[in-house]
């Protein structure tokens, strides 16, 4: 079939709206009509050329919601008409990783997903006979996309696509990092570096679990008002701090944070996030994605003296199990998504969504089809 899609031809250039060819789902795959898709900083990261796995031409997008249109042979868990959220972290429930119950990082299709193809090694997308690569197994910047069955979470049908698409990455990543990965406890003092689409969800999660102090750190002062609405108790603009930021945060938290989260993707901030943690027990969770060639560093003494460095992908969530529950939380009013979706636009204007992100003017832009 012919489908409208935003194609990334090469790194560092705007996306191009094209009509591309999409082949139907093969065995174990599903064809999904994407109704809405958020634009995450990771899409911009890959488009910038900083992603070691970046591969072009590709159809980016990994924060979508839509409807199953057709299923391939052997697909049993979803049927045409089902509403779904695509999962860049699938959940096969059969691989060593899924069965371990120690991680959400299902590895059933990770190799081919990273190569931009379906599990059989081929792409379903093409243009003028040449393949276009899939992205993160989802490619939600297309009106229709094909995914493995294990890469979709079935959700309730009364949930609005243009809101719950954000659960496909940002909401789940932020709240999940707090609940699943860090396991923040009531009364904990929390520091969040980066108050964008992910960091504000970390703040929302920290408030949900009863953190007593939630400090937000961002160089963009316009983030303060919204962050306070989501539960931030103190705002710190590093550019307005006299002297060392780490010492300032340790003092503000009266000895160091119980938990910190890096939600920017900057390795210098990752070090500050670790070092502002409390001696003996503070845990720092890296959520931000750093570019090719970047490495983190600290004095090993920071770890010897009890600080812990962790990382979190997709908030430690098992998508097919956890995503429908998070959609329920939204529909029950337990979490706020609406105030974080600052811009909605047709797919034709997707490059404006990237501009707004880079200018610090949006939290989440959602494109619709």
**Cβ-based nearer residue to Zn ion, 25 or 288:** 288
Q: How far is the CB of 262 from ligand NAD (least distance, A)?
A: 8
Strand pairing report for 144-148 and 152-155: unpaired
* Residues between 35 and 74 with contacts to ligand NAD, criterion CB under 6 A: 40-42, 45
- Under 8 Å between Cβ of 38 and 353: no
* Residues between 215 and 274 with contacts to ligand NAD, criterion CB under 6 A: 217-220, 223, 238, 263-266, 269
Q: Measured between alpha carbons, how far is 117 from 62 in angstroms, rounded to an integer?
A: 15
Query: Which listed residue (92, 112, 228, 234) is catalytic?
Result: 92
The partner residues of 192 in beta bridges, in order of sequence, read 216, 261
Q: Which residues of 51-70 are buried (b: 16+ CB within 10 A; e: fewer)?
A: beebbbbbbbbbbbbbbbbb
Which of 1, 16, 27, 52 touches ligand AHE by CB under 6 A? 52
Task: Please confirm, yes or no, whether 276 is among the known catalytic residues.
Answer: no
Residue 219 binds which of ligand AHE, ligand NAD, Zn ion, none (CB < 5-8 A, kind-dependent): ligand NAD
Residue 326 binds which of ligand AHE, Zn ion, ligand NAD, none (CB < 5-8 A, kind-dependent): none
Closest C-alpha to 40, from 327, 319, 263, 291: 263
DSSP assignments along 85-123, one per residue: EE-SS---S-SHHHHHTS-S---TTHHHHHTTS-TTS--
* Residues between 142 and 171 with contacts to ligand AHE, criterion CB under 6 A: 169
| 42 binding ligand AHE? (CB under 6 A) | yes
Residue 125 binds which of ligand NAD, ligand AHE, Zn ion, none (CB < 5-8 A, kind-dependent): none
* Residues between 160 and 189 with contacts to ligand NAD, criterion CB under 6 A: 169-170, 173
DSSP assignments along 234-284, one per residue: EEE-GGG--S-HHHHHHHHTTS-BSEEEE-S--HHHHHHHHHTBPTTT-EE
Query: Which stretch, 12-20, 25-33, 78-86, 311-319, contacts ligand NAD (CB under 6 A)?
Result: 311-319
Which residues are part of the catalytic machinery?
A: 40-42, 62-63, 92, 95, 98, 106, 110, 169, 364
């Amino acid at each position: 079939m012919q489908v409208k899609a935003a194609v990334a031809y090469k790194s560092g250039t705007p996306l191009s709206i094209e009509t591309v060819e999409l082949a139907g789902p093969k065995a174990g795959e599903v064809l999904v009509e994407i109704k809405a898709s958020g634009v995450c900083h990771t899409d911009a990261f890959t488009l910038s050329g900083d992603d070691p796995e970046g591969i072009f031409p590709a159809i980016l997008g990994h924060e979508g919601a839509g409807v199953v249109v057709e299923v391939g042979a052997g697909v049993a868990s979803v049927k045409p008409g089902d509403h779904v959220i695509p999962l860049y972290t699938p959940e096969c429930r059969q691989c060593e990783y899924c069965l371990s119950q120690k991680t959400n990082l299902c590895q059933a299709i990770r190799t081919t997903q990273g190569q931009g193809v379906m599990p059989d090694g081929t792409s379903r997308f093409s243009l003028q006979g040449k393949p276009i690569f899939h992205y993160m197994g989802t490619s939600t910047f297309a009106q229709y996309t094909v995914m493995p069955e294990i890469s979709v979470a079935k959700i309730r049908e009364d949930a609005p696509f243009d809101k719950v698409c954000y659960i496909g990455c940002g909401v789940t990543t932020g709240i999940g990092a707090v609940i699943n990965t860090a396991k923040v406890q009531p009364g904990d003092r929390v520091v969040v570096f980066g108050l964008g689409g992910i960091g504000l969800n970390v703040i929302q999660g920290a408030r949900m679990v009863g953190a007593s102090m939630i400090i937000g750190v961002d160089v963009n002062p316009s983030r303060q008002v919204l962050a306070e609405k989501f539960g931030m108790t103190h705002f710190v603009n590093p550019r307005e701090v006299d002297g060392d930021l780490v010492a300032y945060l340790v003092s503000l938290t009266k000895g160091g944070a119980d938990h910190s989260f890096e939600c920017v993707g900057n390795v210098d901030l990752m070090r500050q996030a670790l070092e502002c943690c409390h001696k003996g027990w503070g845990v720092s969770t890296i959520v931000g994605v750093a570019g090719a060639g970047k490495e983190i560093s600290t004095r090993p003494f920071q770890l010897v003296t009890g600080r812990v460095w962790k990382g979190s992908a997709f908030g430690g969530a098992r998508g097919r199990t956890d995503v429908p529950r998070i959609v329920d939380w939204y529909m029950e009013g337990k979490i706020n998504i609406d105030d974080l979706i600052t811009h909605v636009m047709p797919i034709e204007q997707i490059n404006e969504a990237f501009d707004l992100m880079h200018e610090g003017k949006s939290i989440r832009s959602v494109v619709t089809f």
